[in-house]
Structure 1
Amino acid sequence: MKQVHNATEQPTRGLAQDADDCLFDPRIRTVLSEFTLGSDTLTLEAAAAIRAASHSVERLRSRGAQGRGLSSGALDILIRLGATTGEALSIGDLARSADVSSRNVTGLVDTLEREGLAERVPDPHDRRSVLTRITPAGRGWLDTFREPVQRAMAGVFQGFTPADLTQLRHLCLRVVENQQRLEHYLAQTEDVLR
């Protein structure tokens, strides 16, 4: 097996190429082969590769955000607030769009508010509700963060063609779609068994 090298010609830790010149992690393959008692490991290796790729992107994104004082979760909420045109959003709307709990978003908004990057404002249509919007300082923060993160992501996806990126996006979202379908099926099955 030949070792694979990244764009800077430093060895990529532990990866190899198979007979079809496709990357794989021999350590993961060995562990999964033992786990499956010698059965096919391809789907489990694919799941492990998705997890590893996700962690790699998240580590890079997190590193840039934490260098600026924000967790990746807070950054995600700030980006969502920044995508609005001055419109304030409810915690529930933010939670649904980020696919996390309202409780989680409340804590993230608390952090953004402490940093002066977001603010809570009264809901003009419901005096019992509070909305969240980005502040001018939050927009400025995003402006300074935008270019470095775009350069970093360009580095992570160096050598990928637009077709590669489109296919990668499509395949990852198919995994998400299948997972959602499976969860729906399992929830229905559990309901029937109760």
Structure 2
Amino acid sequence: MNSFDVNGHYFSPATRTAMTHLTSGDTAPFEAAAAVRVAAHAVDRLRSRGTESRGLSPAALDLLVRLGVAGEPGLTIGDLAASGGISPRNATGLVDTLEREGLARRSPDPADRRAVRVAITPPGRGWVEAFRKPSEVAMAALFRDFTDEEVVLLRHLCLKLVTGAEALS
């Protein structure tokens, strides 16, 4: 259960208590990392409700959407992995799923015969189109208590976190 701190910001007393065992100093960075993780899981659970009954994980959906934007001749596995923030091995497994479902297809790369391109199929485009409206409804509900500025700030802070993590890699 979340509470409010003296500044009116949400915090989790249980997380704060647990984080005091990880550091002898300020728990705020640890609490923030835990909050990001919990929020990501909550968003994934919400997205899963719309995809699991249709046979796709949220990660596979992400790749399918990226393929829909890419157009022909598609993207390489490496491109998909990089844009999705996942390993090439994970991207390969997700593409296997998309291909098995008839939502994507592999083809030789015309510019590099060692590479393979992945493109969305017409049934894949139909899948994304059918998923569009439920996704819009879910995101509107999820962010209903946010101002437009808060949504933009949340996006900014999450991507800033990713940039910081990439710099450490």
TM-score between both structures, scaled by the size of structure 2: 0.92
1:13-63 per-residue CA deviation (whole Å, 9 max, x = no partner) reads x111122221111111111123335x3211111111111111111111122
The structure with the largest alpha-carbon Rg is 1
The secondary structure found in structure 2 opposite 1:126 is coil
Q: Does 1:32 align with 2:19?
A: yes
Give the letter aligned to residue 44 of structure 2.
E
Please give the alpha-carbon distance, in whole angstroms, between the structure 1 residues aligned to 2:127 and 2:104. Answer: 11
5+ long unaligned stretches in structure 1: 1-13, 184-194
Identify which of 49, 63, 71 aligns with 1:85. Answer: 71
Partner of 1:8: none
What is the CA-CA distance between 1:135 and the residue it aligns to?
0.5
Identify which of 119, 123, 126 aligns with 2:112. Answer: 126
What is the CA-CA distance between 1:128 and the residue it aligns to?
4.1
- Range 76-85 or range 132-141, more displaced: 76-85
Please give the alpha-carbon distance, in whole angstroms, between the structure 2 residues aligned to 1:84 and 1:17. Answer: 43
What is the CA-CA distance between 1:170 and the residue it aligns to?
1.3
Partner of 1:141: 127
TM alignment of 1:54-65, pairs within 5 A = 54-65=40-51
Partner of 1:97: 83
The structure-2 alpha-carbon separation of the partners of 1:72 and 1:19, relative to structure 1 and needing over 3 Å to count, comes to same
Give the paired residue count. 169
Partner of 2:96: 110
Contact 2:73-2:117 at 8 Å conserved across structures: no
Q: Does 1:19 align with 2:2?
A: no
Please give the alpha-carbon distance, in whole angstroms, between the structure 2 residues aligned to 1:100 and 1:36. Answer: 30
**Structure with bigger RCO (C-alpha 8 Å, 6+ apart):** 2
Please give the alpha-carbon distance, in whole angstroms, between the structure 1 residues aligned to 2:33 and 2:113. Answer: 46
List, as ranges, runs of 4+ consecutive aligned residues in structure 1 with deviation greater than 6 Å: none
TM-score between both structures, scaled by the size of structure 1: 0.81
Partner of 1:11: none
5+ long unaligned stretches in structure 2: none
Identify which of 69, 72, 79 aligns with 2:55. Answer: 69
- Range 84-93 or range 108-117, more displaced: 84-93
The structure-2 alpha-carbon separation of the partners of 1:40 and 1:126, relative to structure 1 and needing over 3 Å to count, comes to closer
